[in-house]
Structure 1
Amino acid sequence: WDGNETWLVLGGGALLVAFPMAYSIIMPALYLPFTVMLLGLIFRGVAFEFRFKAERGRRFWNLAFGIGSLVAAVSQGIVLGAYLDGITVVNGVFAGGSFDWLTPFSILTGCAVACGYALLGATWTAMKTEGALRNWAFGLADRMCIGVLFFMVAVSIGTAYLSDEIAGRWFSWPNIGWLAPVPVITALVALLLFRAVRRRDEIAPFVLTLILFLLGFIGLGVSLWPAIIPPGITIWQAAGDPGSQTFLLVGVVVLVPCILGYTAMTYWIFRGKVKADGGYH
């Protein structure tokens, strides 16, 4: 939760300062799924702490942790799908309804993100544990690989059909030649991931999953650029005052290395395998 809280505050604050118009449109458009996501993250964090301290009822807190995690993941995916689907804007303000975010495409992306997080969690668990739990994690990762590949293809096709501009960007000549490496490399990484999971490699599955996520975000970036609020508001139209952006840049230059530093230190402290008698992890 501490890590989620840090990045959420930084991301929200940065959006408000750097692109205030985008903030004022995105937040009311996606207020409900954002709220559900935060509630899921809070519930997840509370369940994690109570499970460690509870002498009874650990099964309940295990379930609570799982539900909170699933709700947060699906909500993030719904936010992503609703954002990609486009936000109704009139005269620079949100002009849609309270449930415009709830569409078949946003449900698809919600399931996709949850499946992707399950793959990340499975490969991380396989890397950090031993014995029966490690074998179970590899089995889950094997199934989640298939799910993630399916959802990546489905979301990619769905995104391409959201607008003629996105479809033209990917499938018109000469763009298709310049952008072809993205899906080709993605397919190659997916193949390597399948093989690494089947071979029960130690670290490669987790690293390849991270690369797969990165390639997915690159594809989304290519589809949207330069829009910050699909379909029609660009980053230049939504940009804030240059003085505010300079102030933000100074803060980011100072804060981001600090955040990355203590995150790296945390990973270093908890390096290696998790043992059954290892205490609080």
Structure 2
Amino acid sequence: MLGSCWLIWRTEGPLHERCRRYARTTAVAVLALIVVVTLWTPMLQGSLAARWFRWPDIAFTAAVPVLLILLAAGFWRSLSARRQALPLLFAYGIFILCYAGLLISMYPYLVPPAISFRDAAAPRASLLFLLVGAVITVPMILGYTAYAYSVFKGKMRPGEGYH
């Protein structure tokens, strides 16, 4: 779904139209799987069902399915309106909300249900070492990504290339 939406944004012609069809097909599959996982996950443990359906928790967790429905509707409307970048942005939003729902379901026990994320964390010295590495490498990755996007900006038209 994400790949099709990215190609809708970046291409024209027959490939563009084919990706519109693929985006619709894959969106149906993705949304169906989201519904299955959403209904199945709270049944895994009583604490998960309580987190999603007990008051006052439901006041906070209800935002995830409501936003997901709104994003899915926006996705379909943007595809029907033949928008270029909006389907990709809506697809990103759908996947981010899925991860948010998973995080809500598992927090604070992210690995097995008996270990909290604080208990599973590495020692402070190891985390500081990784932080230094991230501070050095993340700006380099972001710079290269910005450069790559500037080189390959614009739509790819049939019969053209980047060379």
Question: SS at the partner of 2:41?
Answer: helix
**With structure 1 as the length reference, what TM-score do the two structures score?**
0.55
Deviation of 1:181 (Å): 1.1
Separation in structure 2 between the aligned mates of residue 165 and residue 263 of structure 1, nearest angstrom: 41
Counterpart residue number, 2:107: 225
AA aligned to 1:158 is W
Spell out, residue by residue over 1:206-257, the C-alpha distance to the aligned partner (whole angstroms, 9 max, x if none). Answer: 1111111111111111111112312221112112211111111122122222
Identity of matched residues, %: 38
Counterpart residue number, 1:278: 161
Contact 1:127 1:206 in 2 (8 A): yes
The count of residues paired between Structure 1 and Structure 2 equals 162
| Candidates 1, 16, 28, aligned match of 1:146 | 28
| Candidates 208, 224, 238, aligned match of 2:90 | 208
Contact 1:189 1:212 in 2 (8 A): yes
| Candidates 37, 40, 43, aligned match of 1:158 | 40
Question: SS at the partner of 2:110?
Answer: strand
Separation in structure 2 between the aligned mates of residue 158 and residue 244 of structure 1, nearest angstrom: 37
Separation in structure 1 between the aligned mates of residue 128 and residue 69 of structure 2, nearest angstrom: 39
Superposed CA RMSD: 1.4
Greater RCO (Cα-Cα under 8 Å, separation 6 or more): 2
For residues 27-46 of structure 1, what are the structure 2 equivalents within 5 Å? none
Counterpart residue number, 1:234: 116
Unaligned runs of 5+ in 2: none
Deviation of 1:176 (Å): 0.3
> Is residue 2:60 matched to residue 1:183?
no
Deviation of 1:279 (Å): 4.5
Question: SS at the partner of 1:260?
Answer: helix
Contact 1:142 1:198 in 2 (8 A): no
AA aligned to 2:136 is V
Spell out, residue by residue over 1:2-41, the C-alpha distance to the aligned partner (whole angstroms, 9 max, x if none). Answer: xxxxxxxxxxxxxxxxxxxxxxxxxxxxxxxxxxxxxxxx
For residues 39-78 of structure 1, what are the structure 2 equivalents within 5 Å? none
Unaligned runs of 5+ in 1: 1-118
**With structure 2 as the length reference, what TM-score do the two structures score?**
0.93
Contact 2:42 2:49 in 1 (8 A): yes
> Is residue 2:134 matched to residue 1:252?
yes
Separation in structure 2 between the aligned mates of residue 254 and residue 160 of structure 1, nearest angstrom: 40
Separation in structure 2 between the aligned mates of residue 129 and residue 121 of structure 1, nearest angstrom: 12
Separation in structure 1 between the aligned mates of residue 117 and residue 46 of structure 2, nearest angstrom: 20
Deviation of 1:274 (Å): 1.3
Contact 2:152 2:162 in 1 (8 A): no
Runs of 4+ aligned structure 1 residues displaced above 3 Å come to: none
